[in-house]
Structure 1
């Protein structure tokens, strides 16, 4: 089975109503699906936290580095698996989770230079709660990270001129066609932004990168995913995104379904990320 078919299988399992409060059956189903997928490659750690008395779960898989580099700090890759009420959340964020699961498979088979920590975050749609809890835990444990990568909506592409919007004044510097994947990082990640963008372009997917100062507080739209709590605690972190509502008209709508996605684009993003992570020095 090729990569695109694997991604499509994951999407068909994950894209369903899965709000943690209003679609609990779907939410539990997806949580279990991720746990089963991860458990093929190692023991799955569950990080539990409470929200209004409800137990919420981040699911974590640790993959060791290739034999030479066990003592390096890990690269953390995360994607949130919850969705807002009333949408199957195919782009937001079944695409991010599908890519996370495929990267787990690939790096389990052939380890990277760095140890990898793959995290499926809960409760992102309620204010980045899962990632905030987990980032705080790592910070408290004084756990260094080589890099945190948030996979946030990776599958919507539109090659019509004018399809891409921006918070001002970014429209002056970036293309107005929504056919690229964006990498947005804090200033510590500039070398990684350049390197990962280059790897994504090498597989034939257009990529743009944006470094943001001051934890993204100047352009608030750059903070709308699970990388933001890591920025706030001083970690180097990058969001990989198709730019969500700045491009995708199905954002948080019942129409955010698999049919609206570009699976060639999603597959290229996954390939480019894998190669890019392998090339990080």
Structure 2
């Protein structure tokens, strides 16, 4: 009888994980769709994504962290590119995102000019204050201000010969009070509701570059948000002794702004946080996971490693020290114990138009999910 119950439990658990695998794929597909327009600064992409996540929290039965609203609003400046994005070099029209990107601090410009070579990769149109830079890979980002010139980064493979002439029509708009929201929900603990374990993930990405091109951000960070939502669903159905909280930050790509704002305006006392796990870049895993802050919190890192070795989840749980590379950082600076976990191996698409759901394997999702659930259970003993 005991053996039959064990088999039933294993089958039931595997069925739930299979359902969660379908769920997380659907979430990545949804968050990378054109409707959310790169979850960024034009077409209300970030706003739509935030409202969608808040709706998910409500559907799962999470309570707003502040008792009233899921949204924690704040503002910051962002240089955006909502309109025209046309470029021709040597008479050849180039495709935004694929063949070229505009420097994120660039001003808008419209005109024709001649390019003067400065070195092997830089060419300048003095009349229109445009710098053309040749690159092996195009990687975009976000800036909070606008410069007095325009930087155009061009994939070397898109050109035949050196750049000589340029025709450009590119619009920018500096938004000085861009409105953003952190999305915050909680499942109250059954025994120690004032002690909190928090999962975090940033839901913003780079948004759109012009009115025809957007950056989907599948691995960065639809993958982390989707895993967070899966965990939120799980813990809403299985309340724990401690409270389980979930925060989706915005403004990460502009400089960890959402997490910085939260640590300066916390909706729960920072000293009540038992541990925080930040999820970013969770779409692969062929080479295991990296744990940032592992050397800072060796006891908790040891729990992760032991669980992984006992259950043969991942090929490696690698250790890294303190780093200011994601939303865990400002919590660590305030004395909150935290890990930043990301997967390693697989696709190399990052901050480009090729970071899409279709090619994101999500192959170690189930193992990471199990590892995190086991880690939380060990923390609460």
Scaled to the shorter chain, the TM-score interval is 0.7 to 0.9
Which protein shows a greater Rg? 2
Equivalent residues of 1:189, 1:211 under 8 A apart: no
Give the whole-Å Cα distance in 2 for the aligned partners of 1:42 and 1:68: 17
* Aligned residue among 12, 25, 34 for 2:44: 25
Q: How many residues align?
A: 248
Give the whole-Å Cα distance in 2 for the aligned partners of 1:111 and 1:227: 24
1:75-86 pair list within 5 angstroms = 75-85=197-207, 86=214
Aligned CA RMSD, in angstroms, stands at: 2.3
Pair 111,141 (structure 1): closer, same or farther in 2 beyond 3 Å: closer
Q: CA deviation at 1:181?
A: 1.2
* Aligned residue among 232, 241, 246 for 2:342: 241
**Consecutive unaligned residues in structure 2, runs of 5 or more:** 1-17, 65-69, 78-176, 208-213
Residue 242 of structure 2 aligns to a residue whose secondary structure is coil
Q: CA deviation at 1:27?
A: 2.2
| Greater helix fraction, Structure 1 or Structure 2 | 1
Task: Report which structure shows greater RCO (CA 8 Å, sep ≥6).
Answer: 1
Pair 26,142 (structure 1): closer, same or farther in 2 beyond 3 Å: closer
* Aligned residue among 188, 197, 201 for 1:64: 188
Runs (4+) off by over 6 Å: none
1:37-76 pair list within 5 angstroms = 37-40=56-59, 41-44=61-64, 45-52=70-77, 53-65=177-189, 67-71=190-194, 73-76=195-198
Partner of 1:268: 367
**Consecutive unaligned residues in structure 1, runs of 5 or more:** 159-178, 217-221
| Greater strand fraction, Structure 1 or Structure 2 | 2
Give the whole-Å Cα distance in 1 for the aligned partners of 2:71 and 2:264: 16
Partner of 2:85: none
Q: CA deviation at 1:256?
A: 0.6
When the two structures are superposed, what TM-score results if normalisation uses the length of structure 1? 0.80
Give the whole-Å Cα distance in 2 for the aligned partners of 1:266 and 1:140: 29
1:168-247 pair list within 5 angstroms = 179-185=287-293, 187-201=295-309, 202=311, 204-212=313-321, 216=322, 222-243=323-344
Equivalent residues of 1:183, 1:197 under 8 A apart: no
Q: CA deviation at 1:78?
A: 0.4
When the two structures are superposed, what TM-score results if normalisation uses the length of structure 2? 0.60
Of stretches 195-204 and 267-276 in structure 1, the one that deviates more from structure 2 is: 195-204
